[in-house]
Amino acid sequence: MPRDTPPPIPKEILDEWYAKRRAKRNAERASEAERQESGKPAAPVIESKTVYEAKPVVRDLRKEAVSAFMPTAVRMKIEKSKGRGGLLEPEEADRLEKEGYLRTREPTRPQTGEPQAGQDAGPRGVTMEEVADEQG
């Protein structure tokens, strides 16, 4: 046996020690149980007044199926018509309008007199001119 290891404790001594320990703990548990039983009277049972109800969720499966399984080409055209798929050129806008993805433009109403501040005078164009740089 190595020098730094204590000798083993005989089994009889350990059994006695465990028996004392077990008896002491059982006595503590019994006195604790008596205190709990005699300490407080039983609390009256209170009925809960809140009632929770779960209704079934009504879903429109036809609508979900149409929106979930939309072809990619159709989805891209719809996104483009909403302005999310990139810039929309006039030719593309006309084609999408003809295919029914874009709302048709409202017909212009004939205006009488001068256009007011809230009304547009019509489409406006921008012209760019090249100017020679002055070096000097």
> Does residue 94 form part of some domain?
yes
Degrees (nearest 5) of the Cα angle 54, 57, 60? 170
Please give the Cα distance from 132 to 129 (Å, whole number).
Answer: 10
pLDDT tens readout for residues 72-84: 888 888 888 888 8
> Does residue 127 form part of some domain?
no
Please give the Cα distance from 93 to 102 (Å, whole number).
Answer: 7
Where does the chain have alpha helices with state H?
A: 11-39, 61-68, 72-82, 90-99
> Does residue 47 form part of some domain?
no
> Does residue 21 form part of some domain?
yes
> Does residue 117 form part of some domain?
no
pLDDT tens readout for residues 3-62: 888 888 999 999 999 999 999 999 999 888 877 766 666 778 888 888 888 889 898 888
Question: How many domains, in total, are found in the chain?
Answer: 2
Tell me the residue range of the domain where 15 lies.
8-37
> Does residue 30 form part of some domain?
yes
**pTM for the predicted model, two decimal places:** 0.29
> Does residue 43 form part of some domain?
no
